[in-house]
Amino acid sequence: MAIDTTVVIPGLEGVPIAASSISLVDGDGGRLYYRGYSIEELTLGTSFEEVIALLYDGELPNAARTAEIVAEIEAGRALTPAQIQIARDLATVTHPMFALQAAVAALAPKVNNFDQGDFEAATHRGIALTAKVGHLVGVIAQAAAGRPYDGPRPGETMAHMTLRMLTGTEPTELHERVMNALLVLQADHSAANASTFTTRVVTSTKAEPEAVVSAAIGALSGPAHGGANEASLRMFMEIKDPARAEEVVTGMIDRKDRIPGVGHRVYKVKDPRSTVIQRLADEVLVRDADKAFYSIALTIERIVKERFGTRGLWPNVDLFSGCVFGALDIPIDFFTPCFAAARTAGWSVNIVEQLQSGNRLFRPDQLWVGPEPRAFVPIEAR
Ligand SMILES: CC(C)(COP(=O)(O)OP(=O)(O)OC[C@H]1O[C@@H](n2cnc3c(N)ncnc32)[C@H](O)[C@@H]1OP(=O)(O)O)[C@@H](O)C(=O)NCCC(=O)NCCS
């Protein structure tokens, strides 16, 4: 294939960076599939644990495989007292997303010699890492709220554990079900989104999986990526009254401000994840304040459709996800860490697929636009 080496492709838009069979984003059709199964169906009751098995194995797990992966997740999520203390200390000094990034890096072993050829070991390491990241999010939330450590319980699902540790209360059956659907919904989104691409790049340097996931968390933290769920709810909090939403958003559009939760590089129709989130919102929003935020989101959706629909600019998952996270009593600065807990599943599977692909080092090129080589000038002559 001839590559035009005379032009830069900003954002690598349209450039395939991997051959993948994990998840498919159909941007024109507005669909998302994990291993061929639609996200609409997977969020109707499949557990996050089953989805982790699906992402790794390529097939929906039967009862025996489900029991096996549940046991592996339960064993894998254990943290040492030192790892818990590090995460608790980090929670007091920085945003939970950066605390999580640092705490995940601190899970890496003292030696730096990850065996790139042992796909089986990489799989088990990734399953444990997915379990540990959910646990860490809970640890950081407990410390941030000044609560003592109260870790995973035997037999507790990932959804129940994460939500209980985040909120400090026993989740209702409905809230656990919605949390599970959120974890499933955000578990993967192709190999080429910014954080999963980061996963691929860092894996290609033969780094330890914990270093890979830590880097991916950094990529996810940005408001152009995962941080948009927090940004959109903060915007709703500022708007406050649904009656003001139209005026505020119209003003933002006229000023050419970016509206968080709107637009997507790949989806040119409505993001299928927002359709699922809206289904969950219908179930879980009961308080007036939560309903007011949702009403603001719906007004923004209407205006964005009117003003931008023909240009292929639509609401994405993050316009609505903050409303649902909020209705579950998850603190606002933990929306993106929750996203990270879910997405660690996809990142870890992408690590294995990257290793299996031969794992060639990502080392693209640049176009040089700087000065020609020139003579050094000593400081006294400058
Ligand atoms: C996600 C995002 C980075 C994708 O951007 P992209 O593919 O690089 O799109 P571009 O930046 O090239 O924007 C294309 C056009 O749409 C407009 N646009 C894109 N997102 C917009 C938004 N959120 N609000 C208002 N206008 C937006 C741009 O201003 C640009 O308009 P122009 O052609 O008149 O200059 C971008 O849509 C965005 O910043 N969205 C808000 C953050 C967000 O919700 N992120 C979560 C994604 S799941």
| DSSP assignment of 59-123 | S---HHHHHHHHHHHHHHT---HHHHHHHHHHHTTS-HHHHHHHHHHTTS-SS----TT-HHHHH
Distances (CA, A) of 356 to 20, 25, 120, 204: 11, 22, 11, 11
Q: Whose CA is nearest to atom 22 of ligand 1?
A: 258
Q: Which residues contact 242 (CB under 8 A, 6 or more apart)?
A: 292, 295, 296, 299
Determine the Cα–Cα distance for residues 78 and 123; give it in Å rounded to an integer. 17
Domains of the chain, each with CATH number or no CATH? 23-223+342-356 (1.10.580.10), 228-327 (1.10.230.10)
The active-site residue, picked from 188, 271, 290, 318, is 318
Q: Is 268 a pocket residue for ligand 1 (Cβ < 6 Å)? A: no
The enclosing H or E element of 163 equals helix 158-167
C-alpha–C-alpha distance, residues 199 and 88, integer Å: 25
Is 135 an active-site residue? no
**Cβ of 313 less than 6 Å from ligand 1:** yes
Catalytic status, residue 264: yes
pTM of the prediction?
0.94
Structure-block tokens of residue 220: 């996810």
| pLDDT, tens digit only, all 382 positions of the chain | 677 888 999 999 999 999 999 999 999 999 999 999 999 999 999 999 999 999 999 999 999 999 999 999 999 999 999 999 999 999 999 999 999 999 999 999 999 989 989 999 999 999 999 999 999 999 999 999 999 999 999 999 999 999 999 999 999 999 999 999 999 999 999 999 999 999 999 999 999 999 999 999 999 999 898 888 888 999 999 999 999 999 999 999 999 999 999 999 899 888 999 999 999 999 999 999 999 999 999 999 999 989 887 888 888 988 999 899 999 999 999 999 999 999 999 999 999 999 999 999 999 999 999 999 999 999 999 9
**Does residue 261 contact residue 232 with C-beta atoms inside 8 Å?**
yes
